[in-house]
Structure 1
């Protein structure tokens, strides 16, 4: 039993080490000075069941460059804002505040 727990613990530590949130080619998890980001969701016109999530962390403004991308450089799509929040939480971020515009 202890061996299984050790293997699981090592697996969790390796997962934490690989956590990445890439926005405009920048892994924002590695930016020590970064404390807050804003997530903005937008329904996709082609696929209404998915949303695009834009991330504002204080960088120069460009809608195209504010999307979250995966390791292969493809834009990540989410089922809902809650899906995006769960993704951010899995990558070490905490929810702070909700606002409507």
Structure 2
């Protein structure tokens, strides 16, 4: 009985790790060497909206929703800061490479370039 409980617990835990998606692709299944995370402040909030660009196709008139990290329920994942997003991506197999910020309409937009650990060449 105890073994069955542990098996179900680990199975559930494994499924929840794959729950975060971008453009309906699980983060761990994105097969590219580099990704860019872009953080913008949410209106009237201290949290950030994080978008992930891995070269995916997006619709011309899209609102950007297909580049936002979503949980298993399809809701946008909230991040407290760019470091929160960076730690999240590190847990999903990405290494920090470079960062820069630009100002758009008096709002800072942060760009972090990351490299996949599984695709890095030694």
Normalised TM-score (structure 1)? 0.73
Does the residue aligned with 1:65 lie in a helix, a strand or coil? helix
Q: Choose between structure 1 and 2: higher helix proportion.
A: 1
Q: State how 1:19-58 maps to structure 2 within 5 Å.
A: 19-20=17-18, 21-32=20-31, 34-47=32-45, 49-58=46-55
Paired positions, count: 88
How big is each residue's C-alpha offset from its partner over 1:16-60, in whole Å with a ceiling of 9 and x where there is no partner?
78533410111132133x11111110110032x110001111012
* Alignment check: 8 A CA contact 2:41 2:49 kept: yes
Normalised TM-score (structure 2)? 0.62
Rounded to whole Å, the distance in 1 between the matches of 2:49 and 2:74 is 15
Say what the alpha-carbon RMSD is for the aligned residues: 2.2
- Following TM superposition, the consecutive aligned residue runs of length 4 or more in structure 1 with deviations greater than 3 angstroms are 14-21
Identify unmatched segments of 5+ residues in structure 1.
1-10
Identify unmatched segments of 5+ residues in structure 2.
1-9, 103-122
Q: Choose between structure 1 and 2: higher strand proportion.
A: 2
Rounded to whole Å, the distance in 2 between the matches of 1:43 and 1:56 is 17
